[in-house]
Amino acid sequence: MIRCEQAAKRFPGGGEALAGIDLQIDAGEFVFLTGPSGAGKSTLLKLVALIERPSRGQVIINGQNTRRIGRRRIPQFRQGLGMVFQDHKLLADRPVFDNVALPLVIRGVGHREVGRRVRAALDLVGLAGRERQAPLTLSSGEQQRVGIARAVVGKPPLLIADEPTGNLDPELSLEIMELFGRFNELGVTLLIASHDVDLITRLGHRRVMLEAGRIVGDNGGAG
Ligand code: ADP
Give the CATH number of the domain where residue 196 resides: 3.40.50.300
Which of 34-64 are b and which e, b meaning 16 or more Cβ less than 10 Å from the residue's Cβ? bbeeebbbbbbbbbbbbebebbebebbbeee
Test site for ligand 1: of 43, 86, 191, most ligand atoms within 8 A of the Cβ: 43
CB of 34 sitting under 6 A from ligand 1: no
**What pLDDT was estimated at residue 223?**
55
- 118 occurs within a structural domain: yes
Cβ of residue 43 lying under 6 Å from some atom of ligand 1: yes
> Identity (one letter) of the amino acid at 205?
H
Q: Are residues 73 and 178 in the same domain?
A: yes
The closest of 218, 222, 221, 223 to 4, measured between CA atoms, is 218
Q: Which of 39, 13, 8, 12 is nearest to 217 (CA)?
A: 39
Give the three-state DSSP class for 112.
Answer: helix
How far is 50 from 95, CA to CA, in rounded Å?
Answer: 28
The DSSP call for residue 5 is E
Q: Are 76 and 100 in the same domain?
A: no
Atom of ligand 1 nearest to the CA of 40: 6
Q: Torsion over CA of 210, 155, 153 and 24, rounded to 10 degrees?
A: 0
- The model's pTM is 0.94
Is the shortest distance between the CB of 38 and ligand 1 below 6 Å?
yes
Q: Are residues 14 and 29 in the same domain?
A: yes
pLDDT in tens, 148-171: 999 999 999 999 999 999 888 999
Q: Measured between alpha carbons, how far is 132 from 138 in angstroms, rounded to an integer?
A: 11
- Of 107, 122, 154, the last residue of a domain is 154
Cα–Cα nearest to 221, from 189, 179, 196, 195: 189
CA torsion 181-34-46-215 (nearest 10°) is: -120
| Contact of 34 with 41, CB cutoff 8 Å | yes
- The C-alpha atoms of residue 175 and residue 191 are separated, in whole angstroms, by 17
Last residue of a domain, one of 154, 174, 190: 154
- Please check whether residue 76 lies inside any domain of the structure: yes
- Among candidate residues 137, 154, 171, the one where a domain is terminated: 154
Note the pLDDT tens digit of each residue in 166-177: 888 999 999 999
85 inside domain: no
Between CA 205 and CA 44 the distance in angstroms is 19
78-91: per-residue pLDDT in tens?
999 999 988 888 99
51 CB within 6 A, ligand 1? no
Number of domains in the chain: 2
Residue of the CA atom closest to atom 6 of ligand 1: 40
Q: Alpha-carbon distance 79 to 157, whole Å?
A: 9
If asked whether residues 75 and 160 sit together in one domain, one would say: yes
- Is 41 near ligand 1, meaning CB less than 6 Å away? yes
3-state secondary structure of 141: helix
The pLDDT tens digits for 170-219 are 999 999 999 999 999 999 999 999 988 889 999 999 999 999 999 999 99
Q: Are 148 and 84 in contact (CB under 8 A)?
A: yes
| pLDDT bucket at 1, cuts 50 / 70 / 90 | very high
Domain range for residue 131? 94-154
